[in-house]
Amino acid sequence: MDDNAAKIAIASDHAGLDLKEKIVKLLRELGRPVADFGTHNHDSVDYPDYGIQVARAVSEGKNERGILICGTGIGMSIVANKFPGVRAALCYDPFTAKVSRLHNDANILVLGERVLEEKTALEIVRLWLSTGFDGGRHARRLAKIEEIEKAERRTKE
Ligand code: RB5
């Protein structure tokens, strides 16, 4: 993996900014390089404008993994999962964080600042980054998702 791909791409809207800043700090403490796509202040912004940047970077392989934060995590999930190859997981506790990696090989973690305690959110990030993909039957299922993406692309051509 090249140096840029190893960077964790991260972005939030205004409703996820405070948690984003805490996560960026944690990532730096963990020695994980970060590509921060904003937002950088509390002015009201539209989450698709920020979600698209991380989702596109992961979809195109510029960054292997990303993290998106909005108020609930729902808007960012909807945006991110529009992109081919993106497997964005809205996680709300350590269990879903772990299983999103083990079973779904999630490449974008989505969090809702308004629905999570800070301590839980940071625990989710740590677990999500340190858990690998289990492969096996789960790889077969992911291959089916890839097939769906390809078939949808073909029907639109
Ligand atoms: C912003 O008010 C809020 O709608 C947004 O952060 C997010 O929760 C959308 O899903």
Pocket test for ligand 1, best of 68, 70, 113 (most atoms within 8 A of CB): 70
pLDDT by residue (tens digit) across 21-59?
A: 999 999 999 999 999 999 999 999 999 999 999 999 999
The predicted pLDDT at position 92 comes to 98
Residue 100 and residue 109: Cα distance in Å, rounded?
9
* Sequence-distant (≥ 6) Cβ neighbours of residue 85 within 8 angstroms: 58, 59, 61, 107, 146, 149
Residue 154 alpha carbon to ligand 1 centre in Å:
33
Fold of 3-156: Ribose 5-phosphate Isomerase B; Chain: A, (3.40.1400)
Read off the pLDDT of each residue in 127-136 and give the average, rounded to a whole number: 98
pLDDT of residue 1: 67
For residue range 77-119, list pLDDT tens digits in order. Answer: 999 999 999 999 999 999 999 999 999 999 999 999 999 999 9
Protein residue whose Cα sits closest to atom 8 of ligand 1? 71
- Residue of 14, 42, 91, 103 with catalytic role: 103
